[in-house]
Amino acid sequence: MHTLDRIYIDGQFVTPHGEELFDLFNPATEALIGQVRLGDAQDARAAVAAAKRAFPAFSRTTKAERIAMLHRLHDAVAPHAEALAAAMVAEYGAPAYFVDFSARRSASVFLDMAKTLEDFDFSQTIGRAEVTLQPLGVVAAITPWNSNYGFICGKLAGAIAAGCTIVVKPSEMSATQTDVLMRALHEAGLPPGVFNIVNGRGEVVGAELTSHPNVAKVTFTGSTPVGRAILRAASETMKRVTLELGGKGPNIILEDADLETAIPTVAMMGFGNSGQACVAGTRILAPRSRLPEILERLKTAVAALKVGEATDPSVMIGPMVSQKQWDRVQSYIRLGQEEGAQLLVGGEGRPDGLDRGWFVRPTVFVGVNNDMRIAREEIFGPVLSVIPYEDEDEAIAIANDTTYGLQAYVASSDLDHARAVADRLESGRVVINGAPHEPLAPFGGFKQSGIGREYGRFGLEAHLEPRAVLA
């Protein structure tokens, strides 16, 4: 068992002032695999001070200099993909397909942002005014445990491109991944204080960052309730905020969908990343005219999804991240039955043959209406609900009848038809027929799924403030 006792401030690995030790577990075995020494409010203040000292010089770097830094960050992180993947497997238990994507993506986001920056104009003339886009200042980035190093790299890339300095507070549950990434990032040789990383609890380090007067912007990925708290705290000093929050994504199967290809895609869009994903398509909207066939195919598709340890490359669904998360998902499976929904597949407890680890039986409810809590609340586990609809207008009404609006899905054999439906959905992203991720497109949500956008041009602009000079 190892103890991680370093954070990164002002270009150096330092011992935290905080003394609390937090246990780290392997969720597939429930074994204690290490501890991390957490930073405290004093560590957060030291990191902010370092970022503030670095900001004046860094904000004046040229676009070419920052593009070069982004390439150096890519070159520093890319060789560590295998170590990052191993850390994610040990600490989070994600299946191989997700681990591989995350490990590659952690480095490639820097190249994506460099490409965005190449074509970005920081100044323009509007009437008689010269308008320039200025970096905001010190950014505080708070990241979750379900894609730890991907979120860190994405937020770091946006800040660097804009000329902002940054303090990152990752989830304390992802400390092994953070340690591997932190040491890789150090190899890029960026100026001291440009980026800083402080492990710690949200209510301690996160709270200090969101209230600190020298932090100009907070970017947070996580739950909607925590996002609300951050927004309230940030408002005291008028911080700019980017919040990427929860979701309850609709996955609309249109009447003209080819079920042979649509159903496996629908299942993976719901169960991807073991269901621990804000973008999961957890509400399957099915035309009543085709409901029996859809349910039969869905039951078969879900039964074929293997649950187990990530060391098995055929596994599609891994464990929940913690005992707490396992208990939460189990409570929703019980709740669904109490609300009157029926189990098409799955149910409470562990899958057969798995007597340890925080594994959940992939579960699909039928007999669900959109007023049930299992259809309205984010469960963050492998639990889906099938909701029938009579016609397309009703499907769209059900899809939009939610407090969330992060990512939606449409399945159709007619692309023009699918696009017409997509245009009516209140969602930050709409994925048609399982289309692959587009790294340069903006990412963020409508309604209570968040504020602002990340990635590409929109993510870069979120770190900038326009200034008009009139002469």
293 labelled catalytic: no
Q: Which of 50, 66, 46 lies closest to 58, judged by CA?
A: 66
Write the CB contacts of 16 (distance below 8 Å, at least 6 apart in sequence). Answer: 5, 6, 7, 37, 38, 39, 40, 43, 198, 199, 200
Write the CB contacts of 299 (distance below 8 Å, at least 6 apart in sequence). Answer: 344, 345, 364
Sign of the C-alpha dihedral computed for residues 316, 111, 198 and 184 taken in this order: positive
* Marked catalytic residue, from 244, 426, 454, 461: 244
End-to-end CA distance of the chain: 64
**Contact between residue 242 and residue 453 where contact means Cβ atoms under 8 Å apart:** yes
Residue 228 structure tokens? 């609300």
164 labelled catalytic: no
Q: Which of 470, 432, 48, 87 lies closest to 253, judged by CA?
A: 432
* C-alpha Rg value of the chain to the nearest Å: 22
**Contact between residue 103 and residue 88 where contact means Cβ atoms under 8 Å apart:** yes
* Marked catalytic residue, from 278, 378, 426, 461: 278
Residue 439 structure tokens? 């790294």
24, 224, 290 from 316: Cα distances, Å:
23, 27, 27
**Residues with catalytic annotation?**
244, 278
